[in-house]
Amino acid sequence: MLSDRIVITGIAINTPLGDTLDNVGNHLLAGKSAIGYWDRIDTSKIYSKIGGQLPDYCVEDKLRSFDGRVPDSVLAQAERVFKQTTKGVQLSVLMAMDAWLDAGLFELPLDPYKSGVICGGHNLSDKYLLDQQAIFLDEPEFIDAFSGLNSLDTDHSSSVAQVLNAKGLAYLIGGTCATGNVAMQAAINAIKVDNKQVVAVVCPMASFHPMMLHSLTILEAICYGQYQDTPTKASRPYDVNRSGFLPCEGGAVLILEDAECAKRRGAKIYAELLGVSVNSDANHLGDPSHEGQVQVIQDVLTKCHIAKEQVDYVCAHATSTKLGDIVELRSIRKVFGSHAEKLIINAPKSLLGHTMWASGVVEAAVAIWQMRRGEFHQSHNIETLDPAVDLNVCADGNVNKDVEIFINNSFGMGGINSASLFRRYHV
């Protein structure tokens, strides 16, 4: 019998700050930035030269690290997938294996039709497609023999499902920068409506390439006019001199599980996911909407039967854009009224940069880690606080606080607003 509660039993993450949750969390508390110079992307013809990229990361070494820790059959499937897929898919598979292992699911006789994979993201193969197009123009016969499959974003979800033997469902869902929350909402429905026991929410790394970065610069979305010589200072939500977000490689996986099943098997439980709300501004542009943000935050509180006074912390979307940061704070104040002044709010993107479609899950993971620790990282690079900022955005240092409930905001281009609500788990 499934319960009506959903919990997080496994987490995996991979960013320039590390590929374990403890490493990333501790680096955030220490104020370490993920932002530097692109050295694997040709920036000679584009304005912005800075962003966050993984250090040299050997996927083969990481795969070998699972030897003896997962069943041989799982490792054999992963090795088979690795021979036929791109590095981006391989990174998704590795994160999923980490999270599944963290949840203790490899050791269970789990009904494969009760487990599933929901992959959050889109444009995940852009650079691969551009590279294959260049090869095709030179000599069509030399393109990758698997390009017809590897060019599909669903290669992430199907490859992960193959390795985890998750046969209940495996598909891909997208919502620009709100994708992480959108994917979590789909996973909630899979458990509550379709009676799945466990769903891996996999948010792969964005596929950055020069044209993508340049197009975002032309839209004046990413930072390019300032801080090109001091990249670690470039992402500065709430600072008066902020000038756009900093794109960053990074992905994460959350294992969502029916609470009763998790409790019955003695699983480690990180947190309870109370719910997610998503709405639309009915606008294809990237302008933030105060109305839409207020509505989505109110909706998630209402549907989860949580009073605004019960919320302690907001993991802010806060991308370091002139308009977006202040609209979000105005929305928070509108929803929470006088209680807004009791909230702590911090900006993970001040250190992690913007992991794009993965950001909702990446930031949920580090928010859960901070809640369990009772310490929240500073919003960095605030040298001159914007006078419009009138709430506690952790501008002066890390904050120690006991948090029971937090909201994770994610707002995407195309008018997609989302908020997820988490609670410290109690039996």
Same-domain check for residues 182 and 213: yes
Same domain? 207 vs 90: yes
Give yes or no: residues 201 and 103 share one domain. yes
- Are both 188 and 308 inside the same structural domain? no
Cβ neighbours of 149 (radius 10 Å): 16
Closest CA to 288 of 176, 399, 377, 205: 176
Same domain, 249 and 334: no
- Among the candidates 221, 240, 271, a domain finishes at 271
User: Of 271, 305, 320, which closes a domain?
Assistant: 271
If asked whether residues 333 and 309 sit together in one domain, one would say yes
User: Do 91 and 235 fall into the same domain?
Assistant: yes
Based on the domain organization, do 279 and 369 belong to the same domain? yes
Per-residue pLDDT of the chain (427 residues; tens, 9 = 90+): 567 899 999 999 999 999 999 999 999 999 999 999 999 999 999 999 999 999 999 999 999 999 999 999 999 999 999 999 999 999 999 999 999 999 999 999 999 999 999 999 999 999 999 999 999 999 999 999 999 999 999 999 999 999 999 999 999 999 999 999 999 999 999 999 999 999 999 999 999 999 999 999 999 999 998 899 999 999 999 999 999 999 999 999 999 999 999 999 999 999 999 999 999 999 998 889 999 999 999 999 999 999 999 999 999 999 999 999 999 999 999 999 999 999 999 999 999 999 999 999 999 999 999 999 999 999 999 999 999 999 999 999 999 999 999 999 999 999 999 999 999 999 8
Count Cα atoms within 13 angstroms, Cβ side, for 346: 31
Task: Report the CATH number at residue 304.
Answer: 3.40.47.10
Residue 1, in any domain of the structure? no
Residue type, 50: I
Domain count, the chain: 2
Residue 202 sits at φ, ψ, to 5 deg, of -110, 120
Any domain includes 293:
yes
pTM: 0.97
| Assigned domain for 99 exists | yes
Beta bridge partners of 256: 8, 199
Structure tokens at 343: 């909230």
Q: Establish if 406 belongs to a structural domain.
A: yes
Q: Is 176 within a domain?
A: yes
- Could you tell me which residues come within 8 angstroms of residue 422 by beta carbon, excluding any fewer than 6 positions away? 8, 271, 272, 273, 274, 364, 367, 368, 371, 405, 406, 407, 408
Identify whether 166 is part of a domain: yes
Sign of CA dihedral 5, 361, 177, 292: positive
Whether 328 maps to a domain, the answer reads yes
CA distance 300 to 298: 6
**According to DSSP H, which parts of 247-306 are helical?**
259-264, 290-303
Kindly state whether residues 189 and 235 are assigned to the same domain: yes
The answer to whether residue 55 sits within a structural domain is yes
Q: Which domain-ending residue is among 207, 237, 271?
A: 271
Query: Which residue range(s) make up the domain with 405?
Result: 275-424
Which residue reads 């609209």 in tokens?
327
Angstrom distance (rounded) from CA 30 to CA 398: 9
Residues 313 and 358 in one domain: yes
Residue ranges of alpha helices (H) inside 265-321 are 290-303
- Same domain? 124 vs 256: yes
| Region of residue 202 (left: phi > 0; alpha: psi -120 to 50; beta: else) | beta
Residue 239: exposed, middle, or buried by beta-carbon count in 10 A (0-12, 13-18, 19+)?
Answer: buried
Q: Do both 75 and 174 map to the same domain?
A: yes
Token pair of 8, please?
Answer: 């997080």
